[in-house]
Structure 1
């Protein structure tokens, strides 16, 4: 597989794609506190690292080139299509953009952004009316926006896995869990029994399908 156009060194595409996705996420998440900015900044760093390898410099391909070339000698590993490593490694011989991992990545990315967006709408209304956010996505998990960020990152990993983003993913996931725990500590201090009842009914990150929480109690707090 050979591309006529340059596959990498397209730094304008790195900048444009990074800016588009970061601004897109910003429009959904709307960070306000220092904690919000930390979580959003980490997500933005993940996107920049991804697009640098997707369009700028293929560090992962260079690092694995010897092994890849020996195992798959008929693949031009420095073409852009070959960057879709999972399709290549599993023998997908047609357009990788139509491959199973790429299609699945779209589902995860779309689901993540939709979850972040819908959660923000519920959160904004809860803040406006001085209530805990316990409806919509918050009736399934206590931290839907953090779950949304993880879904988006996982989707991009399916689409274009790199050594750097694979290393960043568990670190950022742990960071989001820690930020969520910090938020919960503050919420329990601020709202006491009201938040305790909510937390007893609704899991933090993995929903109990088919079961929903009771709707909001008094108070106003930003949950991730």
Structure 2
């Protein structure tokens, strides 16, 4: 069974932003807040084509989402909506294109607060940076971007074997005794019992792993 939840209000209230860098170009932008219920025993996933992701635990029982959609025109923005889809054993936050006018030039940035202890299974984007804090993951979890930086805060109580890679960018680890090869752009180590596997990767950008304390 599929359950589709639409982030309300993304089709109204655009604000024009003017920019002037080499080429004069206007952008439309809209920021909307919404909450989503979290199905029992369903891990969280976030997937975007183009946009940044902020993810942090809090002492609530719903997803608290702030979405910022921007693009070259109001028509393009109105062709995109943010949805939460319960499918294949995960609750997926993603963008959905409704109209042909919505092109790859539309970006969706998400700031998400999620219930503390909810497992995170994946965070993915083709173009954007992550600032993610996690207290629990699934057996196989991955956070990856093709173009952007990753900052990942891991709870010391997490059980994970971590493999991190950046093809082009700095790599630092703070608060954990990981093996770091800055020349190769790799880091590996164990948090807790290491019973789960966490893969972190950026093709082009810095990667920073820190300890999350709360």
Q: Same fold (TM over 0.5)?
A: no
Higher RCO (CA < 8 A, seq sep 6+) = 1
Larger proportion of strand: 2
Structure number with the higher helix fraction is: 1
Q: State the structure with more CA Rg.
A: 1
- With structure 1 as the length reference, what TM-score do the two structures score? 0.26
Normalising to structure 2: TM-score of the pair?
0.27
